[in-house]
Structure formats: C-alpha cells, structure tokens
Chain A
C-alpha cells in the first residue's frame, strides 16, 4: 500500500532551537496538509498545498512557523524558534479532492512527536 512518510518520528529539542519536519506524500496526490494534534485542541489544520502552491496557512503562527513544498515529493514544516507550547504530534496527509464522483479520505502519515523542553 502507498504510504505517507514522515521524518523524524520523534524529536526532543531545547527551547529556541530550529526544528524541521519532513513529509513525503503519496506520488500523484495533489493536495498536502499539515495538522497538529494535542489533547486539548485535537487536530488543528496548520497549512495546506495544492499542486505545491500554498492555499491556506492561516492556522500557523507565522512569526515562527513556515511550510514549503520544494518539490512534489517533499513537504517541510519548520519552527524557528521553537517553544514548549509547540510540543505536539504533527501529521502530514495527502490526497486528491475531486469535484464529482468519489472522494477518498486523505492518507495520513504516522506523525512526528515533538517535545520542546
């Protein structure tokens, strides 16, 4: 089965350090999402891309977060500087929405568990 691959799986870093998370979406999918999951907030949409172009990043703290898709096989989420409140699990998902016919659920990666101390 095709998979969305996220690296690293776990990351522990000190406050103020830069963190970069990577995602390899499923080949052929044109839409890529970044979500953050915490116990308190659930799954929050941070940003998403269609055909590598950013569509909506209103969910991200723009002073410290940035998301890019340098090519069709790689999406990155960067936090600089990191803060303890950024501790969460970050998920990437990919899919191709259709205007008509069947829409299959987006496929999620296994996530990056980030701990900022």
Chain B
C-alpha cells in the first residue's frame, strides 16, 4: 500500500526565514510525486510534479526536489502570502492496473509566515 508521511506537521517562520518541508514516501511504481497548496476553505491547488530522483522544479520562492525515498519543498525568503497547508501526494500503480492513477496524500504541513 502506498504511504506518504510529511514533516513537520506545522512550521512557523518569520518573513524572509528560509526553510524546507519534507515528504517521505513508499509507492509501487512511482508515476509522479505532486505538491499541492491548500488555502483555508479551498480545494488543493496543484504546484509541481516530479518524476525521477534528482529532478527539481521551481516556482517563485518554492523549489521542489526528489530522491528515491523523499521529496523536499524548499521555501526561500517566504512572505506572509505563502502561509497555507502544503500537501504531498504520490501517483502510483502499474499502467493498465486498477490501482493506476491512484493519488495518495500525506497529512500536510501547515506553514505560517509572520511579517
């Protein structure tokens, strides 16, 4: 069974204080690792997809990296508007199998950035 564990559960930063969120995973046949951002009262919003170890993706102050067992979301010089819950998910399964395309989420990290 696919499993995703995120840490820490909550992270408080001062504006400009860089840090990283962790996502550890076990999956049969990784088809993609996804990062989402979720604001209160809204659905998760897609940020990145990573496919293979060593891959990196960047968007504004966010950079996602991937190894064979975990992914990191690095936040550089965060601003208060980066405050949200960040969710990691894995897409696994064998093409053509019934589990293919199943997206399994971690519990999320609640990020708060203080001005």
Contact = CB atoms under 8 A, between A and B. Distances in A.
Contact of B101 (A42, A50, A107): A50
B46 A105 contact: yes
Interface string A82-117: 000000000101010101001111111111000000
A55 B49 contact: no
A82 B91 CA distance: 31
Contact of A105 (B36, B95, B99): B36
B87 interface: yes
B72 to A, nearest CB: 18
B104 interface: yes
A45 B43 contact: no
B103 to A, nearest CB: 6
Interface residues of B, number: 29
A110 B44 CA distance: 8
Interface residues of A, number: 26
B45 interface: yes
Given A42-B106, A97-B91, A91 B31 contact: no
A97 B87 contact: no
22 contacts: A4-B43, A31-B101, A33-B103, A42-B105, A42-B108, A43-B44, A43-B105, A45-B102, A45-B103, A91-B44, A93-B103, A95-B101, A99-B31, A99-B96, A99-B100, A103-B49, A103-B91, A105-B47, A105-B49, A106-B46, A106-B103, A108-B36
